[in-house]
Structure 1
Amino acid sequence: MTADSPRTRRQFLLASGTAAVAGFAGCTSTLGRDDRESTTVAILAAGSLQNALTNGLKPAVDVPLRIESHGSATVARLVAEGQRDPDIVSVADVALFDRPLSPSWYSEFTSNAVVIAYNPDTAGGKRVAEAGRERWYEPMVEEDVALGRTDPDQDPLGYRSLFVLELASRYYDDAANLRDRILTREQVYPETALISQFETGAIDAALAYRNMAVERDYEYIELPDQINLSNPRYADDWYATTSYTLPNGHEVQGGVISYGSTIRHMSDAAVSVFDHHTTGQYLEDHGFLLRDEFPAYTGDVPQRVREATDRSDANHSRNAGSAEPLSTTVSDITVLI
């Protein structure tokens, strides 16, 4: 993509996202089982899944959906404290399934990468673009760029942004202490509204997920694999050297970005939605990364769930025929889908 890319698709997706946010705000206090129709499936999900669920999954299923999105740490807290009672819970870090959610099983179904999204229409955004993949941090250190990020206490993107800066300080020769030199509290925005700040002119660049830039058609810089948290090859020697302690005292260790989902209230409708949610083509269309092993299960998975997703995998294989597998490249790693 270039700085003069057409804005029509970007504006359309932004409008869709804005409408979705309004919808979520309207149902914030009602995502429970007592007052919803029996056929409606309620999903409480990570903010980075918001656009994909609303504009990708929802049109692809016959079951009515009620979707609410927050930062994943907030999602976990709302469920753990009994403030929400959804059918399906999806988070952007499976570590949150260890605690506080602790379900008996879950599916790891997609991945992502942290990128530097930038606004090509602002002076600060242009400076980031000119600095490129090897020097993107310099204009941020020099305070020439209004940076946006999310709250590490509320969602995984927030603490993963801290991990990226720590790893970048290690990766680049002249980039010591980037976390201390770049970050301020004023940079923090809700995950569901981060990229939309480009439209208001509030920020020039953002530490964002790849899918957030792709689905809104924004320019972004792909970071080296040692930094972007997408490549299993660097999980131990690089990503695992970082960590963050949440307000509840739980320490989250750096690792490959992994999204997880589980069904809390089993029904035919919930299983059908879960199947599409965790195996659907819409994930790639919205910029998420898929690997051969997805979906991967942990725990005591109900047989009806395994059978549903196994059928989807089989249908996908038959439809693929003898064609070569598609792939999407992030830096120098190729992820088969």
Structure 2
Amino acid sequence: MDENPTHSRRAFLRRVGALGAVGLGGCVGRGARAGTAGDGGGRTLTVAILAAGSLQHALESGLTPAVDVPIRVEAHGSATVARMVAAGKRDPDILTVADTALFENPLSPPWYATFTSNAVVLAYNPDTEGGRRVADAGTEQWYEPLTDGAVRLGRTDPDQDPLGYRTLFSLELAARYYDDAPALHETIPARRQIYPETALLSKFETGAIDAAFAYRNMAVERGYDYVDLPDRIDLSNPDHADRYSTVSYTLPSGQEIRGDLISYGSTIRKPSDAARSVFVVHTTGDYLDDSGFLRREGFPRYRGEVPPEVRRATTADARSLREPVSDVTILR
């Protein structure tokens, strides 16, 4: 994690520029051109991706310009995504969720790739009094202005997406981590704080909230200021996985979700040259780093009976990802 617990929007924008200009020139997806990455019969397909809401900006601003295959992105909270697919309401080419536990139940695909991670942070608006209180409290006292009612807080619904229940996990872990903290997972949450994941941080622009529990990437890619939480509570550090597993949340379906490292998973539901070409960049592309996601050595990691052509393409060494795509476009 960053040594500095707070992160300035202006400093970020000076450092990396606008994410809308991010591309992946020279990577695999650049060769997925019409007639080479289609349905196997020369027809170019639009690849439909149904994804976690926290990925929406990265997919639209980072992945889309990095591939020549047309992409259609639909994003919701991951628990909602899982229910939509399980109920037969959606059948995308590529399915991506922010918690691989949802691939164990209710989705149970034959295979999937774990390809990136994240961290829970507290984003804030430095232009409001409540936001400045969060900034002043910093990484060791960030919870104090939240418990005394001085901050208009936003979070997502734990019944609809993993960020919602991961927020509760972090609050419960924080209550154990800080000696003077009350039962934060009981004293801080209120129903009025809940917003859809895809709209959460936009509430800063309307002045509806001063701060929000968000994923690190959501703050980074929009240039919002945020406080890093200690890694014992932000669900990002493999060294603390045992600690994370001591908290849990039960979804309306009755499924119990235990705390764990934040792990994003993706699978191809409708195999085609186009879908495989997009999947390679989706799960290995540098756009993930540019958007503030956390990647670990060995990603992507597979579970289940992964098609050999997918494994070969996505586990190619870094040199392959920078070679002209004509060498690797057809993934048969």
TM-score of the two chains, using structure 1 as the length reference:
0.84
Equivalent residues of 1:9, 1:216 under 8 A apart: no
**Equivalent residue letter for 1:287:** G
Work out the CA distance in 2 between the residues paired with 1:151 and 1:123: 25
Secondary structure of the structure 2 residue equivalent to 1:227? coil
Alignment of 1:142 with 2:177, yes or no, is no
Which of 243, 261, 265 aligns to 1:260? It is 265
Work out the CA distance in 2 between the residues paired with 1:136 and 1:272: 43
Alignment of 1:315 with 2:316, yes or no, is no
Work out the CA distance in 2 between the residues paired with 1:158 and 1:72: 10
Aligned to 1:305: 310
Alignment of 1:185 with 2:198, yes or no, is no
In the TM superposition, what is the alpha-carbon distance from 1:315 to its structure 2 partner? 2.1
Residues 212-253 of structure 1, C-alpha deviations (whole Å, 9 max, x = no match): 0000001101111100000010001x1000000001000000
Aligned to 1:162: 168
**Equivalent residue letter for 1:297:** Y
Work out the CA distance in 2 between the residues paired with 1:138 and 1:39: 52
- Say if 1:130 and 1:97 are closer, same or farther in 2 by CA, change over 3 A: same
Work out the CA distance in 2 between the residues paired with 1:95 and 1:176: 29
Alignment of 1:41 with 2:28, yes or no, is no
Alignment of 1:29-178 (within 5 A): 39-178=45-184
Secondary structure of the structure 2 residue equivalent to 1:152? coil
After TM superposition, the structure 1 stretch with the greater mean CA deviation from structure 2, 175-184 or 42-51, is: 175-184
Residues 153-209 of structure 1, C-alpha deviations (whole Å, 9 max, x = no match): 000000000000000000000112111111100000000000111010000000000
Secondary structure of the structure 2 residue equivalent to 1:153? coil
Work out the CA distance in 2 between the residues paired with 1:58 and 1:122: 34
In the TM superposition, what is the alpha-carbon distance from 1:4 to its structure 2 partner? 6.0
**Equivalent residue letter for 1:123:** E
Equivalent residues of 2:116, 2:295 under 8 A apart: yes
In the TM superposition, what is the alpha-carbon distance from 1:269 to its structure 2 partner? 0.5
Which of 184, 206, 211 aligns to 1:205? It is 211
Work out the CA distance in 1 between the residues paired with 2:147 and 2:315: 49
Work out the CA distance in 1 between the residues paired with 2:102 and 2:154: 24
**Equivalent residue letter for 1:76:** A
RMSD between aligned residues: 2.3
**Equivalent residue letter for 1:243:** S
Equivalent residues of 2:125, 2:131 under 8 A apart: yes
- Say if 1:286 and 1:265 are closer, same or farther in 2 by CA, change over 3 A: same
In the TM superposition, what is the alpha-carbon distance from 1:310 to its structure 2 partner? 2.5
Secondary structure of the structure 1 residue equivalent to 2:316? helix
Work out the CA distance in 1 between the residues paired with 2:138 and 2:76: 31
Work out the CA distance in 2 between the residues paired with 1:197 and 1:235: 32
Aligned to 1:25: none
Higher relative contact order (CA 8 A, sep 6+): 2
Q: Percent identity?
A: 65
Residues 82-116 of structure 1, C-alpha deviations (whole Å, 9 max, x = no match): 00010000000000000111000000000000001
Aligned to 1:272: 277
Equivalent residues of 1:10, 1:216 under 8 A apart: no
Secondary structure of the structure 2 residue equivalent to 1:100? helix
Aligned to 1:229: 235
Alignment of 1:241 with 2:246, yes or no, is yes
Secondary structure of the structure 1 residue equivalent to 2:223? coil
**Equivalent residue letter for 2:121:** V
Work out the CA distance in 2 between the residues paired with 1:3 and 1:58: 24
**Equivalent residue letter for 2:241:** A
**Equivalent residue letter for 1:300:** E
- Say if 1:12 and 1:280 are closer, same or farther in 2 by CA, change over 3 A: closer
Work out the CA distance in 2 between the residues paired with 1:174 and 1:122: 26
In the TM superposition, what is the alpha-carbon distance from 1:312 to its structure 2 partner? 5.4
Equivalent residues of 1:241, 1:254 under 8 A apart: yes
**Residues matched between the structures, number:** 296
